[in-house]
């Protein structure tokens, strides 16, 4: 993953995605030096204590940053494994209780929010289909990545071996200690010993395993390796700063 400067803002992109001419994508950074709303930096979340007009402007600014004339669609996330397909007809809808979006329509930017949870972007460059996934621990445990690829296969005849995947900035295993009530949902190879009897969970590995099990080639998977918790100047972190902190966004579009 590389850092990119757009309009004096620091954001992130996957090298593997930049090689695909039919898409544009962006994973936003915190940019704490920007003072717009009530939350320091560039916040894209409407479920926190920020000026909603500023947040909407931040969201719409993505069209300018990616040089796209179209629409921006972000669902109302609730840590489910629910998936919606965005079409030209429903792009103005409010996608409530949804944690992953899929589209084949050009110039519709689909995005998900995160502040420690794992954002996963997918593209099938053959069928020209993209997906943006919010995989918190609940969504990961409920196989949201696997389910999204299933939906891509069913609705668009995508082949998993054609899919390029990017696992974005999120909390790293060493910083993600959980209790037994959470740890029980994850495979042993994603666990390590934490402190005070707790367990560290590697959400990057869990989501990579889902991609591999679904048929995505390991060579087609990029993992950012950026820990949101450990980099306060770069990313928001709900565990570090509290649940009311800002939200980054992970965007992708067919063009």
Confidence of residue 210 (pLDDT cuts 50, 70, 90): very high
Distance from C-alpha of 200 to C-alpha of 173, rounded to nearest angstrom: 6
Residues 6+ apart with CB under 8 A from 113: 44, 45, 74, 77, 134, 247, 248, 249
Mean pLDDT of 108-115: 98
Predicted pLDDT of residue 55:
97
| Range 107-131 average pLDDT | 98
Considering only CA atoms, which of 90, 224, 217 is closest in space to residue 168? 224
d(CA 104, CA 130): 7
What pTM value is reported for the model? 0.97
Domain extent for 175: 2-254
Half-sphere CA count of 101, side-chain side, radius 13 A = 30
Spatial distance between the Cα atoms of 147 and 140, rounded to a whole number of angstroms: 10
Tell me the mean pLDDT in the region 118-127.
Answer: 98
| Mean pLDDT calculated for residue range 198-203 | 96
The rounded percent of the chain whose pLDDT value lies above 70 is: 100
Is the model's pLDDT at 205 over the cut of 90?
Answer: yes
The band of 196, judged by pLDDT with boundaries at 50, 70 and 90, is: confident
DSSP calls for 7-41: TTEEEEE-HHHHT-TTEEEEEE---TT---SSSSS
Query: What is the arithmetic mean of pLDDT over 207-213?
Result: 97
What number of H helices and E strands is found in the chain?
A: 7, 15
Q: In the chain, what percentage of residues exceed pLDDT 90?
A: 98
DSSP label at residue 132: E
Phi, psi of 221, deg, nearest 5: -110, 125
The 10 Å Cβ neighbour count of residue 220 is 17
End-to-end CA distance of the chain: 21
Torsion of CA 46, 49, 53, 55, to 10 degrees: -50
User: In this structure, what token pair is assigned to residue 1?
Assistant: 């993953």
What integer is the mean pLDDT of 162-186? Answer: 97
- Is residue 167's pLDDT more than 90? yes
What integer pLDDT is reported at residue 121 of this predicted model?
98
How far lies 21's CA from each of 4, 18, 25, 178, in Å?
17, 7, 11, 40
The domain total for the chain is 1
Model confidence band, residue 150 (pLDDT cutoffs 50, 70, 90): very high
Given a cut of 90, is residue 197 above it in pLDDT?
A: no
Question: Would you state the pLDDT for residue 214?
Answer: 98
DSSP secondary structure string for all residues of 158-186: --GGG-EEEE-SB--GGG-EE-HHHHTTS
Average pLDDT of the chain, as a whole number? 97
Q: Domain holding 37: CATH number?
A: 3.60.140.10
pLDDT exceeds 90 at position 204: yes
The per-residue pLDDT for 66 is 97
User: Residue 195 — pLDDT band, cuts 50, 70, 90?
Assistant: confident
For residues 106-121, average pLDDT:
98
């Amino acid at each position: 993953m590389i850092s990119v400067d757009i309009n004096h803002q620091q954001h992130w992109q996957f090298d593997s995605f930049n090689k695909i001419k039919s898409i544009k994508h962006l994973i936003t950074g915190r940019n704490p030096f920007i003072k717009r709303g009530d939350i320091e930096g560039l916040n894209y979340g409407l479920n926190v204590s920020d000026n909603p007009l500023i947040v909407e402007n931040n969201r719409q600014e993505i069209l300018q940053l990616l040089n796209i004339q179209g629409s921006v669609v972000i669902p109302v996330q609730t840590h489910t494994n629910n998936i919606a397909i965005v079409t030209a007809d429903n792009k103005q809808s409010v996608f409530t209780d949804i944690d992953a979006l899929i589209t084949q329509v050009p110039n519709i930017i689909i995005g998900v929010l995160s502040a420690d949870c794992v954002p996963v972007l997918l593209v099938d460059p053959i069928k020209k289909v993209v997906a943006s996934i919010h995989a918190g621990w609940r969504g990961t445990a409920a196989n949201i990545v696997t389910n999204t690829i299933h939906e891509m296969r069913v609705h668009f005849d995508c082949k998993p071996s054609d899919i390029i995947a990017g696992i974005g900035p999120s909390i790293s295993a060493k910083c993600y200690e959980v209790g037994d009530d959470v740890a029980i949902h994850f495979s042993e190879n994603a666990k390590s010993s934490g402190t005070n009897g707790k367990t560290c969970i590697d959400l990057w590995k869990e989501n990579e395993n889902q991609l591999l099990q679904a048929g995505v080639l390991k060579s087609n998977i990029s993992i950012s390796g950026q820990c949101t918790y450990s980099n306060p100047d770069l990313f928001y972190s709900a565990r570090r700063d509290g649940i009311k902190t800002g939200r980054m966004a992970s965007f992708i579009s067919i063009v």
